[in-house]
Structure 1
């Protein structure tokens, strides 16, 4: 019996506990506990769902990162740039190379893919407006239209051509000259006329070939010519060179203003013109252009003649890029006295002109004169070409330079700096790399002793012959002048080129990078004072065209052959 009583007591205890437990349970009316769901990254819509490369679109959804760079957006297989971000909306740029396909977003550790396909739109062809002859009216060219130059197109005195940023102007070949005289298309701004071509880094103004992608070549069209009223040291009856109408006149207005060229590309110019003897325009020809004119950030590519040419005048220029020129990169004549700073030339070592290609070719006399002793006739107060160039870089051969004919041209390379016919140029803090001859001094030796020729802070590297003298200047005279200690010039032998620490991509034609390496001796070793005190010059300590600012980035193009300019 005691055992039975114990069992009954235990059962009664368990029954009591059950009653307590049931009593402690929540009422059916009590609210359920709140469980917060894990945030999910989703894409709900794309606005618009069709857009061209370079445009912006909005991606709407959930759980995006509010820091733009913390979201990874892939459009048609290519990562896109995020312009702005909230947790529900991303604004992105359709990237170059993107194809139609899905869009995905990776944010906050999750990846979502849109349920619909995004379509990369093909922009419509821009309308083409043909331009020829002389228009006696102010003109305004817009980026939504392509302008085709047929024959010599003149902007005459007292009229202005204004070109919107992003506008494309194409030059036709001589076969499309409407006058039947076989002049290649060219834009010529005459004396007292003006061009206002203000491109931007993101929307440069482009002058290029009228030919299709893959068919463009050196000298497809003429080029761009500006003519001003600044002094020229030629007789006023001298014809304007290279087939352009008119004579040089005898104006003497060094502050003259021919307008503005900023963020401008000129490609495939330098066509042969039907003159006797046969001549070619340069990419950009400046004849008597005054210092009131603004020119900076200009690239000349694949010119069939010279890259940049100055015929007298006093215009100042900065940030110039001569890319794969056929003849000379910087050509100076007829008493030019302006200033130029920050210019880089990159050559194709397989291409040179039959006349011999140079970096600088600077002369002073009329081509019909043969003497190097008698000074030219004083005209407009000028007797010599006396410009000042600073921070220039000329790159030809990365390998051993050759003086033989090149693979794609009928000529050969000559000098990085070729000074002839009593010119009086000053070149400071500049680099010449990869020429058969570094500096050639031709003519009278008086320029060396009088100081009218002033070469300081110049580096010659990878040159077969550093200094050469011709005419009445001996090589010994030229070498003694260049290597004088007070000039701070430098000759870098082929065995020591690595010491310059230039950029590894410096000579890469398809993607050049000219910024020297951080410890390069070109940085911080430039000369100063003298003519560099002029307020035009930016005071920098380096030699060559580049310090740490890659000023060719964004607005230049080293592959114009494959650029679609029709849309």
Structure 2
């Protein structure tokens, strides 16, 4: 969707809008698996909001990678960015984007994300969005300040979430699950694509994320040492979230805040944003990392200021404890074993939470992580369609006192399979 255009893709819980490959027969039980990636491009929305990486002399726009290589010379449809943070690219709601990530253009490395957002403004509505089985990132924000609520990034090849070029939006209820073959981390948080000291700095505010890696006992072949990477002078905040079950061959850490020369003197690392109060992680649950579960193990030990980061985490309500996710499944032949809700006696329901801003975007809840008693991803997602959730129905609740003891053994749900 080019800058100035609008998309209105408004599905419903029992009638999602599905963007997928022609090879994906969604009316058949013989589905593609999440390993069938890169079958087509992806969804690209380009807007007129502010970025910090404009390529023209006036500082108003840049061209999205790959797309600019396949358009005629002088064509402006690949341009994004501008001066209007209230710009609207339309509405997407109950949308599932599947099997994306083909390389476009003449250059290598131009794989398209499941959802690409270039300079998209806050006038855009994105709710109940899934990015499934991408050959690249699940979602990437190139600047702008679009908000995203109820988001699933499942079994994508590279990073589940990626932001850069001064992204400043708001997020809530983000769910990530990675496959055992994931090459990236759960989140790559970058500042800018050019001069990292250019403002506005990337500084999104995310509440209630649940990031599940590819398994603490697995060692994917990717080069991402950590689950969360903050670099290139990015800021950003995660509050009331869960980070769990991650490993890699190059570290298996939970967190790196880049410090280029181990002094904090470089303007292009994120240590400066952390020390300036533009980067924060409060009231989160951390558990299940290949490097170990002690903060001295899962905060990258190669950082000179590792001790300061650990002290900050301890002082700001972070807890190291098993979040007790009800079920995790990554098989390509699912048997209904994925239930991303915490069980009833999980610390997700009892630990101290960060207060929510006085902002109509955020929904205050009594739990940390993306899910409480309700699985809002059931029914309309590829995860549901493929059988990862089994018989879990949207709205089915968890008894806080007794965990799952009070749940029925079977739940009948009309139109549970296949998705329309």
- Provide the residue aligned with 2:329 in structure 1: 507
Q: How far 1:565 sits from its partner (Å)?
A: 9.2
Q: 1:550 to 1:479 in 2, by over 3 A?
A: same
Q: 1:200 to 1:249 in 2, by over 3 A?
A: closer
Q: Name structure 2 gaps, 5 residues minimum.
A: 57-61, 247-251, 259-268, 292-296, 388-415
- Provide the residue aligned with 2:320 in structure 1: 491
Q: How far 1:285 sits from its partner (Å)?
A: 0.6
Taking the aligned partners of 2:79 and 2:279, their CA distance within structure 1 comes to 26
Q: 1:360 to 1:194 in 2, by over 3 A?
A: same
Q: What does 1:86-235 correspond to in 2, within 5 Å?
A: 189-213=1-25, 216=32, 217-235=36-54
- Provide the residue aligned with 1:480 in structure 2: 311
Query: Does the CA contact (< 8 Å) of 1:526 and 1:541 recur in 2?
Result: no
Q: Deviations over 1:247-300 (max 9, x none)?
A: 646521111111110000000001112332431110011111111111100111
Q: 1:515 to 1:249 in 2, by over 3 A?
A: closer
Say whether residues 1:520 and 2:346 are aligned partners: yes
Q: Deviations over 1:462-483 (max 9, x none)?
A: 1114111667x53333323333
Q: 1:193 to 1:470 in 2, by over 3 A?
A: farther
* Structure 1 length-normalised TM: 0.57
Query: Does the CA contact (< 8 Å) of 2:283 and 2:319 recur in 1?
Result: yes
**More divergent stretch after superposition (267-276 vs 189-198):** 267-276
Taking the aligned partners of 2:31 and 2:344, their CA distance within structure 1 comes to 40
3-state secondary structure, aligned to 2:348: coil
- Provide the residue aligned with 1:341 in structure 2: 172
Taking the aligned partners of 1:338 and 1:490, their CA distance within structure 2 comes to 26
Query: Does the CA contact (< 8 Å) of 1:460 and 1:466 recur in 2?
Result: no
Q: 1:249 to 1:278 in 2, by over 3 A?
A: closer
Q: Name structure 1 gaps, 5 residues minimum.
A: 1-188, 406-410
Between Structure 1 and Structure 2, whose CA radius of gyration is higher? 1
Query: Does the CA contact (< 8 Å) of 2:81 and 2:119 recur in 1?
Result: no
- Provide the residue aligned with 1:242 in structure 2: 66
Task: Determine which of 216, 239, 257 is the counterpart of 1:428.
Answer: 239
- Provide the residue aligned with 1:387 in structure 2: 204
Q: What does 1:11-26 correspond to in 2, within 5 Å?
A: none
Query: Does the CA contact (< 8 Å) of 1:236 and 1:248 recur in 2?
Result: no
Say whether residues 1:358 and 2:185 are aligned partners: yes
3-state secondary structure, aligned to 1:319: strand
Q: 1:274 to 1:316 in 2, by over 3 A?
A: same
Q: 1:212 to 1:552 in 2, by over 3 A?
A: closer
- Provide the residue aligned with 1:42 in structure 2: none
Q: 1:375 to 1:268 in 2, by over 3 A?
A: same
Taking the aligned partners of 1:314 and 1:277, their CA distance within structure 2 comes to 28
3-state secondary structure, aligned to 1:266: strand
3-state secondary structure, aligned to 1:272: coil
Q: How far 1:491 sits from its partner (Å)?
A: 2.4
- Name the structure where strand makes up a greater proportion of residues: 1
- Provide the residue aligned with 2:256 in structure 1: 440
Query: Does the CA contact (< 8 Å) of 2:98 and 2:131 recur in 1?
Result: yes
Say whether residues 1:375 and 2:191 are aligned partners: no
Taking the aligned partners of 1:561 and 1:221, their CA distance within structure 2 comes to 20
Q: Deviations over 1:16-63 (max 9, x none)?
A: xxxxxxxxxxxxxxxxxxxxxxxxxxxxxxxxxxxxxxxxxxxxxxxx
Say whether residues 1:461 and 2:287 are aligned partners: yes
Query: Does the CA contact (< 8 Å) of 1:516 and 1:547 recur in 2?
Result: yes
* Structure 2 length-normalised TM: 0.77
Taking the aligned partners of 1:527 and 1:449, their CA distance within structure 2 comes to 23
- Provide the residue aligned with 2:115 in structure 1: 284
Count, aligned residues: 348
Say whether residues 1:540 and 2:368 are aligned partners: no
Larger RCO of the pair (alpha carbons < 8 Å, separation 6+): 2
Q: How far 1:444 sits from its partner (Å)?
A: 4.4
Q: Deviations over 1:187-209 (max 9, x none)?
A: xx111101100000011000011
Q: Deviations over 1:365-391 (max 9, x none)?
A: 22x56xxxx612x4xxx2x11111110
Q: How far 1:561 sits from its partner (Å)?
A: 7.0
3-state secondary structure, aligned to 1:340: strand
Q: 1:415 to 1:525 in 2, by over 3 A?
A: same
Taking the aligned partners of 2:419 and 2:385, their CA distance within structure 1 comes to 13
